[in-house]
Amino acid sequence: MRGAINALVAMLSVATACPSFDTGNNCRYSHLPNGSALLVSNSTKGEVCIVDNQCRALPSTATYNMIGDMSGSKYPMAFVNRSNLTLVRSTVFPTGVTDLTFKNVGFAALSEVNKWPGSLGYLRLEDMTADALPTKLPLNMTFYIRNTSFVEPISTLALRTAIQLTMSHTKVQMEPQDWTVLSDLEWSNVTIPSLNVRLHRTFSDFNVYNITIGNLTMDKTSFQYLNNTIAFVSEDSTIGGGTCPLGTLTRLWAHRNMTQFTACVLDDPTTGINHDLNLNPNLHVGSTSNTALLVGLVALGLLVVAAAAVLLTTRRKYAAMQRDFELSQAPVFPADEESGVKMDALTPFRLDVTALTLKKVLGTGAFAEVWLGTLAKDAVAVKKLKAKNVTIAQLISFVEEITLMTTFDSPYIVKLIGACWTHPADIKCVMELMDGGDLRDYLADHTPAMVSWTEKYQHMLSIAEGLVYLHSMDVIHRDLKSRNVLLSSTGGAKLTDFGISKIDVHGTMTLGVGTCRWMAPEVIEDKEYTISADIYSFGKWLSTHGIPSNDCAFVGMILSELDTHEIPYFDFKNQTTGDSVSDSAIMVKVVTGSLKPTFTTSCPHWVRDLAMSCLALKATDRPEAVQVVHHIRTKLRELAK
């Protein structure tokens, strides 16, 4: 629900002259090595500048490699694509900052920061290495950790204040964890050799995909909390199965027929985690009166801390409610407009609205978002309209999309479970949950060396089979792209997002909608088009996703982030400036047939030939979906010999 991350330096206007500092030996950064360039902002005007280790101003065009005193900054704190960046003991963040993001930065010495802002509620670490997760963070933290390595194991104290923990593509070592504040845990592609954890009854969400926990150890109470929570655990996950010398190896969620997951439940809870905080190990109480005074002071202090915590929590919850309102509410239309929405066809598919619970947003677009939800106790995907900027025409289109989905019955199309509503504007489309995410993200998260051609062939076949089914019903998808291909963690791919799909009643259509880089030439030109437009998109997908592009020929770890996030024509540059060209310029060349996606020599010849036939300029020269399926199946049989 948070917006896209922007690099801090892109948002700041670096001052040409810095505020006055004590220079020389009085400079707070004098202990740092020569060559240090610190981003600082400690003036009341919020000016940002760069100084060296003697507090001397550097040119505004200089590249900073450290973060100094940023207490005067009035900007969001997001540091992105700074491979040489690190933190120092002198790093100070603004007292009012609520979100901190570090993405693709250098070695982050997070433990070097002496004080973290009390207002901080969200810490994001992505595509980086850190020394350790900080232990002096405020209460009620939300953590987002992706593709991040820690030199030190995650400390017992580091996540003690966490209320939400999201991790993906990360392997970590953890000391025994006290998660009695934690309520929401979401992990994907995470490996933890051993986890000894204590939970609380507030723990309510446990959603994990393709995770491995070698040994899971907990006391009996924590086991009950985890076992009774509404959990979604993908079948490719591994939890437990190790030794349990101090307790009993017990199956998790056995009442839900999930018998492959186990936890070591301690017979004696005192053998688990030491949950007592030693607030001051050097304190010595020498008399009864001193003890009474100390008890009184501690009690008063606890009251003050509790009041401050309640106030801070209330403010954060209110801010979160403001951020989430637009996503969680339904649009409102006049009654006479809503009465024109045709809901009758959905009545046989209507679900009990009280049985549906929305958990969190999985993805969002201009007018709708998709949520992770539960229907009774089953995990589902839920698509709903946003509260703002939605017209009655879009509501009608959404209802038509759901109605169209009621006619589908194919293993290659995402299954509709049903719909629920109290009035038309708050209608929700409930679908099967594809826990592998979409193909675009999957390919971005994997190098070509990590995805076998055998797997790619199966995805190609599934997509083509989905098109055969749609075209047999005279339905044109019209927005076929990797973002609209969903994967299952157990294998398989299915087509989704039929918001602009239409029944091809007369064999031709002229409404030019869809994502332009995947469009067929006739769609771009707003001419009549047929189901062959989907075949062109399929050919485009073969080039940009199923097949590595030129820059994707690099194997293994040499791939850059750009290579793993390619989109059609990403390598088409302005020959004079070297800059990327606009979509409109690309569309002009696509229409004339002078531009086609890149292929590499590593591409199997038969796949490239198939893609080029799908990318034929004339629609009549493209194969039909059934021919594509036949061709793929024939080749797969040949390869199997």
pLDDT band at 42 (very low <50, low <70, confident <90, very high): low
**Domain boundaries of the chain, sorted by first residue:** 1-117, 165-267, 334-433, 436-640
Beta bridge pairs of residue 144? 124, 166
Report whether 384 belongs to an annotated binding site: yes
Give the residue-averaged pLDDT of 89-103: 84
The beta strands (E) that lie in 450-570 are given as 475-476, 485-487, 493-495, 502-503
Lowest-pLDDT range, 228-242, 487-501, 539-553, 604-618? 539-553
378-385 and 122-130 beta bridge pairing: unpaired
- Classify strands 416-420 and 378-385 as parallel, antiparallel or unpaired: unpaired
> Given a cut of 50, is residue 628 above it in pLDDT?
yes
Given this structure, which CATH class describes domain 334-433? Answer: alpha beta
* 373 or 340, higher pLDDT: 373
Q: How far, in Å, CA of 49 to CA of 142, rounded? A: 30
Residue pLDDT, tens place only, 196-245:
999 988 888 888 888 999 999 999 999 999 988 867 787 778 898 778 98
CA–CA distance, 202 with 181 (Å, rounded to integer):
7
Given a cut of 60, is residue 170 above it in pLDDT?
yes
pLDDT, residue 346, reads 93
Amino acid at 635: K
Question: Rounded to whole angstroms, how far apart are CA atoms 333 and 57?
Answer: 57
pTM as predicted: 0.47
Amino acid 482: pLDDT:
77
Check whether 156 has a pLDDT greater than 90: no
pLDDT higher at 146 or 311? 146
Task: Identify the pLDDT of residue 434.
Answer: 92
Which of 43-47, 240-244, 259-263 has the weakest average pLDDT? 43-47
Of 330-344, 393-407, 420-434, 605-619, give the lowest mean pLDDT range: 330-344
User: Looking at residues 9-23, what average pLDDT do you find?
Assistant: 48
Region 342-348: mean pLDDT is 90
Instruction: Out of 8-12, 99-103, 277-281, 321-325, pick the least confident.
Output: 277-281
Q: Tell me if 108 sits within 8 A of 130, measured CB to CB.
A: yes
**What CA–CA distance (Å, rounded) separates 249 from 322?**
45
Q: What mean pLDDT value characterizes the chain? A: 73
Provide the pLDDT for residue 392.
84
Task: Fold for 436-640, please state it.
Answer: Transferase(Phosphotransferase); domain 1 (1.10.510)
Count CA within 13 A, CB hemisphere, residue 351: 20
Q: Mind listing the pLDDT tens digit for each residue in 374-385?
A: 998 899 999 998
Selected residue with higher pLDDT from 608 and 310: 608
Confidence of residue 414 (pLDDT cuts 50, 70, 90): very high
Determine the average pLDDT of the residues in 36-48. Answer: 76
- Spatial separation of the C-alpha atoms in residues 196 and 156, rounded to whole Å: 10
Confidence of residue 308 (pLDDT cuts 50, 70, 90): low
* pLDDT for the residue 562: 27
Terminal alpha carbon distance of the chain: 49
Per-residue pLDDT, averaged over 248-258, amounts to: 85
User: Per-residue pLDDT tens for 267-284?
Assistant: 866 655 544 433 333 333
